[in-house]
Amino acid sequence: MLSRKTKESIKTALAMAIAYGIALSMGWDKPMWAGFAVAFVSLSTSGQSLNKAALRMVGTLLAIVVSLTLIAWFVQDRWLFVVFIVAWVGLCTYLMSGTRYQYLWHVAGFATVIICFDAGADPVHAFNTAMLRAQETGLGILVYGLISVLLWPSNSRADFEDSVVKLASVQHKLYRAYHDLMLNKADAADVQALRAEAVQAQTGFNQLLPAAQTDSYEVWELRRQWRHYQRLVSEVGEVLEHWRESFDELQALDLHALLPNLEAFDAEMERRFVEIERLLDNQVPQDAPVPIELALDKTGLDQLSHFHKAALTVTRSSAHRLEVLTRSLLDCVSDIKGFSRPHTGAEYHVDKKSGFVPDPERMLGAFRVMLILWVAWLMTIYVEGVPGGTLLIMMATPIGMAMSTMPQVSALKLFVPALSGVLFAGLVYIFVMPQLSSFLGLGVTIFLATFAICYLNAAPRQALGRAFGLGMFVVVIGVSNQQSYSFISVANTALVLPIVFSIFMLTAYIPWSPLPERVFLRLLARFFKSAEHLISTLGHDPQQPLTTLQRWRKRFHAREVATLPGKLGMWGKMIDPRVFPGTDAKQVQALVINLQALSFRISGLIDARQRPQAEALVQELTQDMRTWRLAIQALFRDWTAQASIESELALEARLTKKLSQLETRVSETFEQIGEGRLKPEDYRNFYRLLGGFRGVSEAMVGYARLMRAMNLGEWRESRFG
C-alpha cells in the first residue's frame, strides 16, 4: 500500500512529465513554463490544487493584460517602462500580503516582470510571448488538474469536517478552562496551550474551507452558511478572550453569591457547546437553547465598591455576547446539517470591515520588493558582465515577493534550499541529460527527479525546499526541442543566486534594521503611539460626528492596536535569548500576552465610550475622567519614546490613590443625583466605562512590572545581524 506522500509525489511527477511531453510535441518554445505551473499548483488535495491553479491562471491572464499594455505604451522609453513595472509589482506585493487571493497577486506581479523583460526587448513578438506563457500555464494546470482528479483523488471534505469538529471541541474546552479560571479553579499558565491550540484550529479551518468549497459539492452548496459559521466561530474566539481579560478584577469577589444563576448559566453554555459538537457529528438535536442572562444579586451588589460593580458589569456584558453568539452558532449549525428546528431568534451581527486602511508592514514589504527590483535592474544595465542578465530580475522578483510575506525569515535561510536545488538540477543536467536521445528517456528522468524532490520534501515545513527544488530544476534543465548543453548556463544560474540573495540581505536594512529585537522595539513604539491616539479620542463627545480624516485615523489606530500584539508575538519568538542574557523567552511571551490584554481592554474602553452616558453623571465626573485619561496618555507617550519606565510600585500607588479618590467622587455624585433618577441602563453604561478605565490602568501597571524585569538596554545596542 502506497503512503500518501508517495502518491502525491507520483501525481506531481507524472503531471510534470506529461506537461513537458505535450509542450514538446506541440513544438512550443519554453516548455518550462508548463513545468512551473505543475510544480507550484500541486498541493495535497485536489480542492486546494484547483483553487491555486485558478488563481495562477487568473494571475497570469492579468499579468498578460498589464504587460502588453505597458509594452504598448512605454517600449520606446526604458525608464518609464521600468517605473511602471516596478509600481505594478509594488501594488501586487501589497495586495498579496492581504487575506484574499494572495497567490493571484503574486503571479500577477512576477509574471508581468517575466513577460515584460522577455518580450520588452523584442516587442514585435511580445504578443506571442504572452500567449505562450498563458497557454503553457493553462497546459500545466490542466494536466495536473486532470491527474489530481483521476489518479488517487483526494478530497478536502474529510479534512475540512475534521477541522470543523476539532475547532468546536477546542472552543468548548477553552470555554470550560476560562470558566474555571474565573472561579479561581484553574491556572492561567495551563490555559496558554489551549489558546494556542484554538488559534491553530481556527487557522486550519480557514485554510480548508475554500479548498472544500472547490472539491466538494456539499460544501459548495452550503458555502454561505459555512462562511457565516466561519465569522461566528472567529467571533466566539474573540469574545472568549475579552471575557477572560475581565477576570483579574473579579478575583476578590464571591461570584456565586453575586451572580446567583452562574451555575445555571454555565450549565446552559455547556449544553450548547455539547449540542454544537453533537450536531456537527450528524446526531439529531436534543436540547433547544434557552435564552439566559446572568442575574445580579441586588443586596450583594450594593455592598460592593463602584469599581467592583464596574468589573462585574464588564464580565456580564461579555457573558451576554457569548450567550447570543452561541445561540446564533447553534442555529447556523442546524441549518448546515439540515435539521429543521425553530430558530432561537438570536441574531449576532459580526462587524464587517469597511474602507481602506493601509497596513505599514505590508507597505514596507512592497517598498522592499520595489527596491530589490530597482537594484537588480540597475545592476543589469550598469554592471558589466553581471551573470544571468535579466534572469537576475526574473529570479529576484518572485522570491523577493514571497519573502515580503514572511519578513521574519532571514534571506540566508532560503539560500541553502535554493543552492541545493541548483546543484541537484546541475548534476542531472550535466551528467544524465546528455546521455538521453528520446523523450522516453527525458520523461523518465523528469519523472524520477520530480518524484525525488517531492518525496524528500513532503513535510509542510519543507515547503521551501520543495518549491526551490522544483523551481531550480525546471530553470536549470532548460528543456527544449533543440536541446543544447552548456556548463556556463548552470554556472551562471548558480552565480545569480548569491547576487540575488546579497541584494535581499542589503535591502533588508532599508529603511530599518530587520533584526528581530529592533523590529520588536519599533512595533512596540507604534503600539503605544496608536494606543495614545485611541485614548485621546475618548475626549471626543460620541454624539458629535467625526470628520472623515478623524474617522479614518481612528480606524487606522484601532487596527494597529488590535493587530500589533500578534505581530509582536511573531517577532518575539525570533529573538535569540543566547544573544541577550538579560531577557528570557518567557518574559518576552509574558510581555506579548500583557499587550494583548491591553489591546482588548483599550478596545473595550473605546466601545464603552460610544454608549450614551447620563447627563448628570457627565456633568459631575467629566473632570475626573479627563485627568485620568490625560495621565494614561502621558504614560503611553513616554512608552512610545521608550523613555525610562516608571516603577510599577509608583504606578500602582498612583492608581490606588486615583481609584480611592474616584470611589468617593462617584459615591458623592450618586448621592447628589439621588436614587431613582438614573435608569438601569445609565448605571450599566457608566460602570462599563469605569471598568474600562480601570482595566486599561491595571494592564498598564502589569506592563511596567514586566518591563522593569527585562533588560531592554541590550536590545537597543547595535549588532551585526
d(CA 33, CA 64): 14
**What are the C-alpha distances in Å from 65 to residues 29, 122, 237, 605, 714?**
21, 17, 42, 49, 51
288 binds other proteins (CB under 8 A): no
717 binds other proteins (CB under 8 A): yes
Helix (H, G, I), strand (E, B) or coil at 350: coil
509 binds other proteins (CB under 8 A): yes
416 binds other proteins (CB under 8 A): no
Please, which residue, 199 or 579, has the CB nearer to other proteins?
A: 579
Please, which residue, 221 or 576, has the CB nearer to other proteins?
A: 576
222: which DSSP letter? T
Among 267, 378, 506, 630, binds other proteins (CB under 8 A): 506
Least Å distance, CB 221 to other proteins, is 55
d(CA 507, CA 511): 8
d(CA 406, CA 423): 25
Residue with cell 534543465: 477
One DSSP character per residue, 540-590 reads: S-TTSPPPHHHHHHHHHHHHHHHHHHHHHHHHHHHS-TTT-TTS-HHHHHH
Q: How far is CA 76 from the centre of its chain?
A: 42
Of 49-57, 135-143, 306-314, 711-719, the window that binds other proteins (rule: CB under 8 A) is: 711-719
Of 138-146, 505-513, 551-559, 652-660, the window that binds other proteins (rule: CB under 8 A) is: 505-513
Least Å distance, CB 465 to other proteins, is 24
Please, which residue, 389 or 441, has the CB nearer to other proteins?
A: 389
> Which residues inside 439-498 make contact with other proteins, applying CB under 8 A?
487, 491
Least Å distance, CB 572 to other proteins, is 21
Q: Which of 426, 418, 419 is nearest to 399 (CA)?
A: 418
**Which string of x and - marks every residue 123-152 that binds other proteins (by CB under 8 A)?**
------------------------------
Least Å distance, CB 501 to other proteins, is 12
Residue with cell 522595539: 521
512 binds other proteins (CB under 8 A): no
Q: Which of 610, 461, 490 is nearest to 545 (CA)?
A: 610
Please, which residue, 382 or 720, has the CB nearer to other proteins?
A: 720
- The answer to whether the beta carbons of residues 114 and 133 sit under 8 Å apart is yes
- The answer to whether the beta carbons of residues 286 and 278 sit under 8 Å apart is yes
**Is the four-CA dihedral 369, 370, 373, 379 of positive or negative sign?**
negative
- The answer to whether the beta carbons of residues 359 and 283 sit under 8 Å apart is no
d(CA 377, CA 303): 74
Least Å distance, CB 570 to other proteins, is 23
Least Å distance, CB 524 to other proteins, is 20
Please, which residue, 45 or 493, has the CB nearer to other proteins?
A: 493
Least Å distance, CB 414 to other proteins, is 18
719 binds other proteins (CB under 8 A): yes
> Which residues inside 558-617 make contact with other proteins, applying CB under 8 A?
579
389: which DSSP letter? T
Please, which residue, 671 or 717, has the CB nearer to other proteins?
A: 717
Of 2-10, 147-155, 185-193, 506-514, the window that binds other proteins (rule: CB under 8 A) is: 506-514
**What are the C-alpha distances in Å from 484 to residues 109, 476, 479, 562?**
31, 12, 9, 57
Least Å distance, CB 495 to other proteins, is 9
Q: Is 522 exposed, middle or buried (0-12, 13-18, 19+ CB in 10 A)?
A: middle
Of 44-52, 451-459, 698-706, 713-721, the window that binds other proteins (rule: CB under 8 A) is: 713-721
Please, which residue, 480 or 513, has the CB nearer to other proteins?
A: 513
Number of residues that bind other proteins (CB under 8 A): 11
720 binds other proteins (CB under 8 A): yes
Q: Which of 359, 707, 708, 242 is nearest to 520 (CA)?
A: 707
Please, which residue, 146 or 510, has the CB nearer to other proteins?
A: 510
124: which DSSP letter? G
Please, which residue, 508 or 621, has the CB nearer to other proteins?
A: 508
Least Å distance, CB 582 to other proteins, is 12
339 binds other proteins (CB under 8 A): no
384 binds other proteins (CB under 8 A): no
Please, which residue, 339 or 487, has the CB nearer to other proteins?
A: 487
| Distance spanning both ends of the chain, measured CA to CA | 48
Least Å distance, CB 432 to other proteins, is 19
Non-local (6+) Cβ contacts of 201 within 8 A are 163, 166, 167, 170, 171
Q: Which of 473, 422, 423 is nearest to 451 (CA)?
A: 473
Least Å distance, CB 336 to other proteins, is 54
- The answer to whether the beta carbons of residues 428 and 477 sit under 8 Å apart is yes
Please, which residue, 351 or 717, has the CB nearer to other proteins?
A: 717
d(CA 641, CA 610): 29
Please, which residue, 314 or 499, has the CB nearer to other proteins?
A: 499
d(CA 377, CA 394): 10
Least Å distance, CB 670 to other proteins, is 57
Q: How far is CA 3 from the centre of its chain?
A: 32
Please, which residue, 541 or 717, has the CB nearer to other proteins?
A: 717
Length of the chain: 721
Least Å distance, CB 719 to other proteins, is 4
Of 107-115, 180-188, 538-546, 712-720, the window that binds other proteins (rule: CB under 8 A) is: 712-720
Least Å distance, CB 487 to other proteins, is 7
Contacting residues toward other proteins, per CB under 8 A: 487, 491, 506, 509, 513, 579, 717-721
